């Protein structure tokens, strides 16, 4: 059985590639979707891609997302006012995005989180958000 490829070159939901764990297409986000972490809301990131399974985002930090006590995250869209609040998550990866030779203590980092244990209401809101980005942005191939 071959892989079903979406029009923009990404993999269809449920398709698998060796070594790839994503089950859903992910879509680029145009810089207007943000993420912050509870309980302190002291880290804000710009979401770069989204799927029904999780998000990828960039943020600045001196330490990294692992220093944030794992709790819940909020997604919010500017200027439309969309909010998806209190989403439980698990960190998939967190890495420096800057040049390793840069001596600055503040770093741009890339992070990916997987959503876990969402309520029905949260899942419905997420589906609407993903659908909105699916119609306006291209797919990514896994590993991009």
Which residue stretches of the chain have pLDDT < 70?
A: 1-23, 64-70, 79-80, 98-104, 133-144
Buried b (16+ CB within 10 A) or exposed e, 33-68: bbbbbeeeeebebebbbbbbbbbbbebebeebbeeb
Residues 113-130 pLDDT 10s? 999 999 999 999 999 888
Tens of pLDDT, residues 16-25: 434 445 567 8
Domains of the chain: 26-138 (2.40.10.220)
- Residue 122: the pLDDT is 95
């Amino acid at each position: 059985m071959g892989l079903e490829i979406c029009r923009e070159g990404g993999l269809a939901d449920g398709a698998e590639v060796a070594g790839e764990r994503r089950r859903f297409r992910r879509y680029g986000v145009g810089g207007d979707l943000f993420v912050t972490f509870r309980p302190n809301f002291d880290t804000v990131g710009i979401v770069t891609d989204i799927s029904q399974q999780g998000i990828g985002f960039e943020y600045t930090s001196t330490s990294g997302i692992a220093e944030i006590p794992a709790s819940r995250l909020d997604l919010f869209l500017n200027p439309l006012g969309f909010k998806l609040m209190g989403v439980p998550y698990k960190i998939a990866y967190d890495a420096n995005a800057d040049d390793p030779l840069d001596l600055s203590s503040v770093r741009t980092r890339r992070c990916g989180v997987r959503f876990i244990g969402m309520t029905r209401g949260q899942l419905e809101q997420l589906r609407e958000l993903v659908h909105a980005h699916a119609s306006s942005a291209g797919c990514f191939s896994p590993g991009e």
